[in-house]
Amino acid sequence: MKLYFSPTSPYVRKVIILARETGLEPRIERVAVQPSPVSRPADLAADAPLGKVPALVTEDGAACYDSRVICQYLDTLHDGTPLIPAAAPARFDALRREAMADGLLDAALLARYEIALRPEALRWEAWLSGQMAKITGVLDAMEAEAATAPQDDLGAIAWFCALGYLDFRFADMGWRTGRPTLAAWCALFAERPSVAGTGPD
């Protein structure tokens, strides 16, 4: 399999951690690309028309994207305990927590683009404030359930990658302040061997 990746993408990080947790990483060749909201690398776009990472080309040549679909696909390729539980309610709880994390990341990336890519004279402060409010709302919801949140499913991987992205791009936000349960949850997950070396430099 071939995985198009960028080393700073939290969505890619989610796929890589799941691949390690399931023992699939040796079957995946990584292809580094640098897409942006205003450019699509030609090799990536040939397999994934949106030009976004991650994108996976399967062993039979089919294209698979985005991270949610890739993770669901990979979770069917191993014989261990599924990281997406098969039955309700655990299945939908894991997918719900993944959606929480991905929603936080969507808002964080939009905020990042507004700050880093848009010319300063054209920045929309209300837009930026709205994205940051979404991030804060999700963090507060995570804190409320962190005491009982699993550490061994796709929802947990997604949470950890979202929190790691905040550490990387929004360190001044100090998301741990006032959220001790979530901070402890994150520190515990960070001890998993599958996490080592997956974060951005």
* CATH pick for 90-195 out of 3.40.50.300, 3.20.20.140, 3.40.640.10, 1.20.1050.10: 1.20.1050.10
Mean pLDDT, the chain, rounded, equals 95
Average pLDDT, integer, range 81-91: 97
Per-residue pLDDT band at 201 (split at 50, 70, 90): low
Residue 167 in this model has a pLDDT that exceeds 80: yes
Average pLDDT, integer, range 94-121: 94
75 CB-near residues (< 8 Å, 6+ apart):
18, 22, 82, 83, 84, 154
Which is more confidently placed, 186 or 201? 186
Give me the CATH topology for the region 2-74: Glutaredoxin (3.40.30)
b/e map 163-175, b = 16+ CB within 10 Å:
bbbbebbbeeeeb
Delimiting residues of CATH 1.20.1050.10 domain(s) in the chain: 90-195
pLDDT at 57: 97
Residue 74 in this model has a pLDDT that exceeds 80: yes
| Residue pLDDT, tens place only, 169-186 | 999 999 999 999 999 999
Q: State how far the Cα of 70 lies from the Cα of 3, in Å rounded to an integer.
A: 10
Residue 51 in this model has a pLDDT that exceeds 70: yes
Q: State how far the Cα of 64 lies from the Cα of 53, in Å rounded to an integer.
A: 11
| Residue pLDDT, tens place only, 110-129 | 999 998 888 888 889 999 99
Delimiting residues of CATH 3.40.30.10 domain(s) in the chain: 2-74
**Alpha carbon 42 to chain centroid distance?**
24
Average pLDDT, integer, range 60-85: 96
Q: Give percent of the chain above pLDDT 70.
A: 100
pTM for this structure?
Answer: 0.95
